[in-house]
Amino acid sequence: MTNRALRLLSRPALAAGLFLGLAAPLLPGIAVGQARAAAAAPAQVQVLRQRITKADELPRFSYPVQGSVEALVRDPQKFAAFSGAVQRDTQSVLDRYDIAEKSTHRQLLNTLAQAALLEERWDDALHLADEIRTLQEKPAERLLTGLQLRAIVAAARKVGNRRSPEFAAEVGRQLAAALEPLPFLVVRNDIQGAKASAEQIGEGLAMGSVRNVLQPVADRSGALSSDLAPGVISTRYVLEYVLPLKEVFAATYKAYLAAHKVDKPDIWAARDAALPPGRNFTPVKVVIWDSGVDTSLFPGRLVERDGQPAFIAFDLEARPSASPLRPIPPALLPRLDALQARSKGLSDLRSNIDSPEAAAVRTLLSTLTPEQYKTVIEELRLVGNYQHGTHVAGIAAAGNPYIRLANARIEFGHTLLPDPCPTPSLEARTTDNFARYADFIRGTGARVVNMSWGGNLRAYEVELEQCQIGKDLRERREIARRYFEAHLKALTQAMAALPEVLFVASAGNSGNDPSFQDAYPSGIVLPNLVVVGAVDQAGDETGFTSYGPTVALHANGYQVDSVVPGGRHIAFSGTSMAAPQVTNLAAKLLAVNPALKPAELIALMRQTADRSEDGRRVLIDPKKALAQAGAAL
């Protein structure tokens, strides 16, 4: 389980969408995504495009980079040549292939739209924004896609000088006018995220990723692949459009939110069903397969071995670890409380809460220098990993005095670049460890396992590129496929070998289809595995949640409050937070009726769920499910 190949599936406010349809792979690193190509000129000849049903089927490209990537971003002539090559190849992909997954199609169009704005090809930019909007599948994204872009284009045509105060003011007026008629409760969460991102962004945050993620790859290989090259275009877009307008964007979103102080309805309180203590219910053992659990926060509700909380752990080298939590370097321990306060500040920003912690982290990130970037972002990632498993455990255990938790810890990487880099021996140990986790799960007698993490094939390729492993794109692709398939096979076999255990997996936070992306565990199909997508407190699909044929249930994954190591409460978002809601329900059902098998549990939760009219959401109803299982609460 290497640095990039697996990742936790909470969604920190730092990574919230920034451009409402023109998302840039910027904040704590460069997101994995395919490249894009030339301007959106209408095709003169209709050609039969090849159907693409897997991301791995798309072509890869490589772009030479000599010297400084920052200079490439800032120098108009150098950037124009680089951007032109990326646009050409991206357009060739769109022309030649019929991409089954709309999310990947949108990513490609996003890069082209950013490039069109940078070249002031206003009509092309508008055309691309409209095309992206037609590919949106979620109501909020369909309404909001391209709003900033259209405001920019309208202001440029009316005012002309993009550097003038009049231009900025006109962008604000155009954006405010576009927002006003929108249904507030549909778009509120996305607007809160856009406001938070606008408040956080600064040149250091933008250029820090260039210096610390892209530059090392370019130094080692003299090129950037099509997985990383769009980051160059996104960064220049931030410098040219986002930073000059950040105050306008933040103020416009703030005013819009202030004018519509309406809370979304909370459907979950009425559906909640806590099990009362002292009943003749069966204790149910649940494994939290995650980044580690602070078991001191769950007294009396633990699986024990020899009088100690049961746990298994492996470190970043895939070797056995004696630490039940992600180790914090000694130098950082005195600052741990302050680092956790930063996590709370990020969460408060995402919720539009003007707390002291939010103010502090907003100032920190917006004034960050490129030199500070690596330290600050890696510390945020480290503390996020440290908190994640405990937060998940708190959600899984809520309202259930009969749950008994066991801790299966994975040590996820937190560095901007992989450390350690993949090697055959590391990947072999990682593969073997899946069977060791399965033995641990079997030994605890667990009935449910929560897995709020995931990986995908293309992430392996990016990690290999960052480590300069493989002489070219083709060899990296072959190595990545070999490692990925070994891990996928081992994980699938581990779960299949425990047919009496229900595995609950997060769908993912990339807004895509796990099957198309070759993702695991969310793309695996087994009778004892259920994959969970995220909705908000009103049951509306979150902008980040992944979707597709393997996603069988949906639960609250938006700003979910839970405990973190030490006892502080913080609200996090992500499918990481939705999956343990289903784990929570499954454990309660088993406490009431321990005879239920995994397939029966899944069927019961689906039968008692509410299906949305569009068929995209299957919202769990714990109260109904427990009543049908025979619980008299």
The closest alpha carbon to 60, from 488, 512, 481, belongs to: 481
Question: CA 559 to CA 536: how far, in whole Å?
Answer: 8
Question: CA 44 to CA 76: how far, in whole Å?
Answer: 30
Q: Please provide the size of the chain in residues.
A: 633
Residues 6+ apart with CB under 8 A from 36: 86, 87, 89, 90, 91, 93, 94, 107, 108, 109, 110, 111, 112, 115, 230, 233
Whether residue 183 is preceded by a cis peptide bond, meaning omega within 30 degrees of 0, is no
Known catalytic residue at 103: no
Q: Are 495 and 448 in contact (CB under 8 A)?
A: no
C-alpha torsion sign, points 621, 626, 627, 629: positive
569 C-beta neighbours (distance < 10 Å), count = 11
Question: CA 308 to CA 311: how far, in whole Å?
Answer: 9
Q: Are 454 and 9 in contact (CB under 8 A)?
A: yes
Known catalytic residue at 290: yes
Q: Are 131 and 40 in contact (CB under 8 A)?
A: yes
Backbone angles phi, psi at 563, to 5 degrees: -95, 150
Q: Roughly how many angstroms between the first and final C-alpha of the chain, as a whole number?
A: 42
Q: Are 421 and 480 in contact (CB under 8 A)?
A: no
Known catalytic residue at 388: yes
Question: In this structure, what is the dihedral angle of CA atoms 379, 385, 387, 388, given to the nearest 10 degrees?
Answer: 150
Catalytic residue among 388, 391, 487, 554: 388
Catalytic residue among 221, 225, 515, 576: 576
Residues 6+ apart with CB under 8 A from 366: 199, 200, 201, 202, 205
Q: Are 461 and 476 in contact (CB under 8 A)?
A: yes
Angle between helices 184-200 and 243-259 (to 10 degrees): 140
Catalytic residue among 56, 89, 190, 290: 290
Give catalytic residue positions: 290, 388, 576
